[in-house]
């Protein structure tokens, strides 16, 4: 027996009879009549995906779009690196639109966390996967959770969804280091004098950062269309895409804000280059989020079947590395390539297993017509392209 405003939230619990009298007089009348009428129909409201940014609106960036699809399919952490205006934020905001819909168990988890945090809407149940995008000035307590009366932080509010950290390297290093536990364990332990509280934190991290303080490291001095204008004798109005003027030491200091251990926990690092000006005028429609989501859903279905006997494992990013190496399936050519690459790139044990998880996701995305295929050398080669060498 609950207030009408909590009906949708309570109905997420299976096999629970829910009644919601509007007044105490109505409740007394029901009890005298020895009846408790059920409160409406069960079910999770379907999210309106039409309101989300769509990949069809992203111009160019085939490599970055591919990285986003792989990250969504396996729930991998992804870092997008590129100059300002290249489309990093737009890509990140498209991520929820290519993820599968919440199932009943996931919706119950997400709703419970938002209820504890006091963030439920009038509908009473969370229908869409969370997308949290905190500002870089956020405190450790705001990100991880805490307070005198512990409450969930952004990492838990993003449970079963996306945590987007725009301008990642503008966050304080102390705040970023707090991500290490949730990225590794999928949970956060908040300890206070009165109690210790554990909150779930299984999220897909998407970070975006410039490659250097000015943001133009690796950029061409001028776009090719502008060069053509110069050759033809037509001077451009201004010089766009000017190259980086940062000192090497400044670039190194900037990139060192992301520690080696934290970088090692980010499965995929992808470059987002500046789109040439002649491509911006291209009106050819790109692949939509709905098309990409269909492939992601197939890959996720293969993962659910693979891990059906493993508790709390729903996607490749959460799979135990040794279990995946023994049971995930890999050709001899892929295994030899992984061993060779691990030595040359000096991968840590963590990095070794994270490459394997990403390769497993890439294999799951292959349209083979079979439920599951082994990881092959091309799958592993693509996974290695997303992996920087370990920094400690």
Residue 376 reports pLDDT greater than 50 = yes
Q: How many CB atoms lie within 10 A of CB 176?
A: 20
Check residue 244 and give its pLDDT.
82
How many of the other CB atoms lie within 10 Å of CB of 165?
26
Average pLDDT over residues 62-76: 95
* pLDDT of amino acid 123: 60
The CATH 3.40.50.300 portion of the chain extends over: 49-215+243-280
- Give pLDDT, residue 150: 83
Contact 280, 86 (CB under 8 A): no
Residue 146's DSSP bridge partners are 151
> In which band, very low, low, confident or very high, does the pLDDT at 221 lie, cut at 50, 70 and 90?
very low
pLDDT at 89 over 80: yes
Percentage above 70 pLDDT, the chain? 84
Alpha-carbon span 103 to 86, nearest angstrom? 34
| Degrees, nearest 5: CA angle 376-328-390 | 75
CATH H-level superfamily of 49-215+243-280? P-loop containing nucleotide triphosphate hydrolases (3.40.50.300)
Q: Please check the confidence at residue 280 and state whether its pLDDT lies above 90.
A: no
Tens of pLDDT, residues 116-172: 888 876 666 788 899 999 999 999 999 998 877 788 999 999 999 999 999 999 999
Give the H/E segment covering residue 198: strand 196-200
Q: Which residues contact 370 (CB under 8 A, 6 or more apart)?
A: none
Strands 131-132 and 145-146: unpaired
At 192-207, the pLDDT tens digits run 777 788 999 999 999 9
Q: What pLDDT was estimated at residue 241?
A: 44
Which stretches within the chain are classed as H helix? 7-10, 24-32, 62-74, 88-94, 104-116, 140-144, 154-157, 173-177, 180-185, 224-231, 248-255, 260-264, 277-280, 289-306, 321-327, 332-344, 349-364, 377-385
Question: What is the per-residue pLDDT for 239?
Answer: 42
CA distance 292 to 155: 26
Residue 369 has pLDDT above 70, yes or no: no
- Cα–Cα distance, 157 to 112 (Å, whole number): 10
Q: How far apart are CA 152 and CA 190, in angstroms?
A: 9
State the average pLDDT for the chain: 84
Sign of the dihedral through C-alpha 169, 175, 181, 186: negative
Residue 149's pLDDT is what? 77
Of the two residues 237 and 294, the one the predictor is more confident about is 294
Q: Quick one: which of 195, 184, 219 has its CA closest to 348?
A: 184
357: tokens are 């998880």
Residue burial 84-115, b: 16+ Cβ < 10 Å; e: rest: eebbbbbbbbbbbbbbbebeeebbbbbbbbbb
H or E element at residue 187: strand 187-191
């Amino acid at each position: 027996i609950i207030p009408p405003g909590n009906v949708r939230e309570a109905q997420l619990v299976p096999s629970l009879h829910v009644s919601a009298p509007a007044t105490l007089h109505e409740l007394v009348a029901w009890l005298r009549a020895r009846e408790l009428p059920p409160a409406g129909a069960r079910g999770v409201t379907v999210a309106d995906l039409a309101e989300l940014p769509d990949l069809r609106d992203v111009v160019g960036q085939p490599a970055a779009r591919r990285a986003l699809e792989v990250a969504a399919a396996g729930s991998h952490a992804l870092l997008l690196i590129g100059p300002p205006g290249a489309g990093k934020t737009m890509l990140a905001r498209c991520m929820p639109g290519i993820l599968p819909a919440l199932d009943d168990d996931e919706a119950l988890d997400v709703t419970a966390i938002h209820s504890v945090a006091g963030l439920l809407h009038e509908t009473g149940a969370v229908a869409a996967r969370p997308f949290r995008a905190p500002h870089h000035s956020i405190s450790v307590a705001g990100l991880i959770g805490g307070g005198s009366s512990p409450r969930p932080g952004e990492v838990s509010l993003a449970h079963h969804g996306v945590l987007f950290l725009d301008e990642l390297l503008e966050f304080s290093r102390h705040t970023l280091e707090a991500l290490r536990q949730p990225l590794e364990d999928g949970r956060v332990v908040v300890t206070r004098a009165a109690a210790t509280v554990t909150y779930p934190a299984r999220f897909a991290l998407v970070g975006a950062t410039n490659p250097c303080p000015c943001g133009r490291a690796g950029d061409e001095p001028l776009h090719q269309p502008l060069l053509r204008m110069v050759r033809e004798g037509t001077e451009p109005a201004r010089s766009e895409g000017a190259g980086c003027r940062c000192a090497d030491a400044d670039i190194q200091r900037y990139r060192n804000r992301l520690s080696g251990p934290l970088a090692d926990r980010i499965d995929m690092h992808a470059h987002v280059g500046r789109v040439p000006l002649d491509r911006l005028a291209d009106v050819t429609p790109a692949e939509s989020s709905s098309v990409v989501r269909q492939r992601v859903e197939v890959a996720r279905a293969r993962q659910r079947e693979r891990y059906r006997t493993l508790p709390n494992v729903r996607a490749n990013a959460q799979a135990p590395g040794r279990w995946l190496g023994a049971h995930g399936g890999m050709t001899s050519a892929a295994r030899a390539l992984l061993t060779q690459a691990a030595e040359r790139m000096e991968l840590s044990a963590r990095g070794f297993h994270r490459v394997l998880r990403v390769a497993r996701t890439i294999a799951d995305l292959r349209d083979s017509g079979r439920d599951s295929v082994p990881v092959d050398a091309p799958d592993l080669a693509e996974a290695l392209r997303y992996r920087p060498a370990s920094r400690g």
